[in-house]
Amino acid sequence: MKVCLKLSILGNICLGVLLSLAVSAAEPSSSVTLPKPPKAKQNFSDTQKCVAPIEDIRRNHGDYLKHHRNETMHKGIRTTQYSLVACINCHVTADSKGNYPNINEGSKHFCKSCHNYAAVSIDCFECHATKPETP
Amino acid sequence: MEFWTAFYAISFYLAILIFIGGLAYKIYQYAKTPAPLVIPTMPAPRTSSGVVIRVLSEVILFRSLFRSNLWIWLFGIMFHVALLLVLLRHLRYFTEPVWGLIVLVQPFGKYGGLIMILALFGLLARRMFVERIRYISNPSDYLMLVLLLVIGISGASMTFVTHTDIVQLKAFMLSVIYFDFFNWQSIPSDKMLLVHLAAVILLMIIFPFSKLLHAPGVFFSPTRNQVDNSREKRHVAPWALELEKTGN
């Protein structure tokens, strides 16, 4: 009897946890947090905003950059199509005082705004600069 | 692709209702079911804290399986630990800002996915090639493994082969869990993602009716969660106690 009682208490606790989970998900929040990357300086061409269609870039930019890195470092082939430096030059923009966002602070930096959101760490900036070479 | 957005959002709500409701009902049922006798498998702990350790070692380490069959234990523990890592990794789609621990676990979860698939193939091979196990296997035993394999392979392929827009996916998931009814952020319509989520939804729906109930059920196993104190204390089933009172 006592065992059975203990088990039923355990069962009730489990039930309570599940219910409270369901309730806490219902906290009032009309809109969802979305990353807000700053606008790029210019379009890539008249017909295309970035170096590839946006849907493609959003899914595959990591692979493109890594492939580009391997081609450049190991084979010495340096192209401009998927160059990280070119990404930074166009996408990282200064505020009115001419200051560039710090990659380690918050999500103002173009790359970091989404990478924080999706918890994807990047090691590009262990070596590369986080802001444009030429202002 | 607004159709898929609404379709998956509504399916998620239905699946989570069935999952939580069904699970809560089963746990209630397990808790209410009386254990008429004291039947812990010996040697059994003689104190309550001993029982806690016993149940935990069963839940975390699969102790009895380890002692009875090492290679099945190996595949089992590989699958479950990998699944835990993968589930933790997925919390990044449901939390904003993402918790520090979840950021740390990302790379581990990534390779956890591969280990999970490997272990599932091992468990599938066990079912198919061990004569004795094949004989007692039902279609539903295969279904669970196949569903988990579909989830694992489609998920890992999105990490390692054909990516989806995970930022958009997170926006969709957040809008679903914050109940933005018919104002959901749109779901990326990559085929792998749709297959992955459909399989997850199916698994959630089937969970409370399947052998996957071993997850809560392991806590309610009378041969493992009872104290070995039948010498110190007399146990009488409630119905027997009634009979003693009325003197029949």
* Closest to B167 (Cα-Cα) out of A69, A97, A35, A103: A35
User: What pLDDT was estimated at residue B160?
Assistant: 95
Token readout for B17 is 């209702």
Count how many Cα atoms sit within 13 Å of the Cα of residue B44 in the half-sphere of its side chain. 19
Sites in chain B below the pLDDT cut of 50: 1
- Taking CA atoms, what residue in B is nearest to A58? B165
User: What pLDDT was estimated at residue B193?
Assistant: 97
Q: Residues A75-89: pLDDT tens digits?
A: 988 888 888 988 999
CB B178 to CB A3 under 8 A? no
Asked whether residue A20 carries a pLDDT value surpassing 80, the answer given is: no
User: What pLDDT was estimated at residue A7?
Assistant: 46
Nearest to B166 among A22, A25, A118 (CB): A118
Burial class (CB in 10 A: 0-12, 13-18, 19+), A125: middle
User: What pLDDT was estimated at residue B34?
Assistant: 81
* Chain A residues in contact with B27 (beta carbon < 8 A): 11, 14-15
**Domains detected in chain B:** 2-28+42-246 (1.20.950.20)
* Chain B residues in contact with A114 (beta carbon < 8 A): 167
DSSP secondary structure string, chain B?
-HHHHHHHHHHHHHHHHHHHHHHHHHHHHHHHS---S--PPSS--SSHHHHHHHHHHHHHH-HHHHHH-HHHHHHHHHHHHHHHHHHHHHGGGT-SSPPHHHHHHHHHHHHHHHHHHHHHHHHHHHHHH-HHHHHH--HHHHHHHHHHHHHHHHHHHHHHTS---HHHHHHHHHHHHTT-TT-PPPPP--HHHHHHHHHHHHHHHHGGGSGGGHHHHGGG-HHHHS-S-TTTS----HHHHHHHHHT-
Confidence of residue A135 (pLDDT cuts 50, 70, 90): low
Burial class (CB in 10 A: 0-12, 13-18, 19+), B180: middle
Other beta carbons less than 10 A from residue B176's beta carbon: 24
CB A34 to CB B20 under 8 A? no
At position A5, the amino acid (one-letter code) is L
pLDDT above 90 as % of chain A:
23
Other beta carbons less than 10 A from residue A21's beta carbon: 11
Q: Is the dihedral of CA A46, A49, A53, A55 positive or negative?
A: negative
| Closest chain B C-alpha to A37 CA, distance in angstroms | 12
In angstroms, rounded to a whole number, what is the distance separating the alpha carbons of residues A20 and A41? 47
Virtual torsion, Cα A61, A67, A73, A79, nearest 10 deg: -70
* Chain A residues in contact with B167 (beta carbon < 8 A): 35, 58, 114, 117-118
CB B35 to CB A3 under 8 A? yes
DSSP A101: P
User: What pLDDT was estimated at residue A16?
Assistant: 47
Asked if A118 and A37 touch (Cβ cutoff 8 Å), the reply is no
| Best-predicted range by mean pLDDT (A47-51, A57-61, A67-71) | A57-61
* Chain B residues in contact with A9 (beta carbon < 8 A): 31
Nearest to B24 among A18, A27, A30 (CB): A18
* Chain A residues in contact with B162 (beta carbon < 8 A): 59
Q: Residues A81-123: pLDDT tens digits?
A: 888 988 999 999 888 888 888 888 767 899 999 999 999 998 8
The per-residue pLDDT of chain B, averaged, comes to 94
Confidence of residue A69 (pLDDT cuts 50, 70, 90): confident
User: What pLDDT was estimated at residue B248?
Assistant: 59
Stated pTM of the model: 0.85
> What ipTM describes this predicted complex?
0.84
Burial class (CB in 10 A: 0-12, 13-18, 19+), A8: middle
Asked whether residue A21 carries a pLDDT value surpassing 60, the answer given is: no
* Chain B residues in contact with A119 (beta carbon < 8 A): 92, 98, 102-103, 106
CB A31 to CB B34 under 8 A? no
User: What pLDDT was estimated at residue A15?
Assistant: 47
* Longest distance between any two alpha carbons in chain A, whole Å: 79
A54 close to B (CB below 8 A): no
CB A119 to CB B106 under 8 A? yes
User: What pLDDT was estimated at residue B247?
Assistant: 67
Tokens 């380490």 sit on residue:
B61
User: What pLDDT was estimated at residue B198?
Assistant: 98
